[in-house]
Amino acid sequence: MAAGSLPLFLSSGNLKSFLGAERTIFQPYDNERTEYHESQVSLQCGKHALNNLFQNLYRFYKDPNYLYYFVVNDKDKKPGFTNFNLKENCKRFQAQVRNVLGGVSTVRCEDTGNYESVYLEWVLKVLNITTTALSPLLDQSLRFDSFTHNASRHRGILINITGHWICAYKYEKAGEQMIWWTHDSFDRPNVHPSFPTHFDLLVYLERKPWLRCIFIA
């Protein structure tokens, strides 16, 4: 923990977390300045979750599959990345749904950026990102088995918790224990709950509760 971080952390109402309600990591990388963190703006949690996930997976794994940056306005484009305009492409998705449903579309494309799971899953498919989606409607034992199976095979997850999108990503480093971090746009930078196993992450999500998990390869 950086010098002076603890008093600030406790003064921000985090005593319960500090005492063990949730394990918290302060420096998820070798250099905490390397973390990418997008804070909440309007209702753009879907965009924030995508960017917080993809940018951090790219930093972890240097994988070109994650060199995408998601925007709702062209002025927010990121140099050096393939920029994907969520707002404009949502209209394209709406048109496709109308064609399938005979002129009717239930898909919302709000200016605020409040995107639905079906649209975010379509976005990832367009980008050729392999995904597996899971809802909590399964029997509990099947749900736990399916979640842990998928979490063991994927590096990242987009998670919808009562309408709000967050992400989780797996940190693996030679000689160190694998850790899952959740990353919420409402978090403070570099302060996120962490979990040593897939099961611990799911137990945390079950208490929220979660509505949809999209596992990212």
- CATH number, domain containing residue 31: 3.90.70
Q: Which domain does 30 fall in, by range?
A: 13-216
User: Would residue 85 count as lying in a domain?
Assistant: yes
CA distance to 76, 77, 104, per residue, from 72 (Å) = 8, 9, 24
pLDDT tens-digit profile of 146-191? 999 999 999 999 999 988 999 999 987 767 788 899 999 999 888 8
User: Would residue 162 count as lying in a domain?
Assistant: yes
DSSP state of 78: -
Residue 196: CB partners within 8 Å, gap ≥ 6? 23, 177, 178, 179, 180
User: Would residue 157 count as lying in a domain?
Assistant: yes
- CA dist., res. 165 & res. 15, Å (int): 25
User: Would residue 47 count as lying in a domain?
Assistant: yes
The domain tally of the chain equals: 1
Give strand pairing partners of 165: 160
* Phi, then psi, of 216 in degrees rounded to 5: -110, 130
- 171-174: long-range pairs with CB below 8 Å, 24+: 171/28, 171/60, 172/60
User: Would residue 3 count as lying in a domain?
Assistant: no
User: Would residue 6 count as lying in a domain?
Assistant: no
Per-residue pLDDT, averaged over 191-215, amounts to 91
| Strand arrangement of the beta sheet that strand 24-25 belongs to | 24-25, 192-195, 179-183, 164-171, 156-161, 210-216, 131-134
- Look at residue 190 and give its three-state secondary structure: coil
pTM (predicted TM-score) = 0.81
Higher pLDDT, 217 or 65: 65
Burial class (CB in 10 A: 0-12, 13-18, 19+), 142: exposed
DSSP state of 54: H
User: Would residue 94 count as lying in a domain?
Assistant: yes
User: Would residue 126 count as lying in a domain?
Assistant: yes
Taking 70 as the threshold, does the pLDDT of residue 1 lie above it?
A: no
DSSP state of 13: T
Taking 50 as the threshold, does the pLDDT of residue 74 lie above it?
A: yes
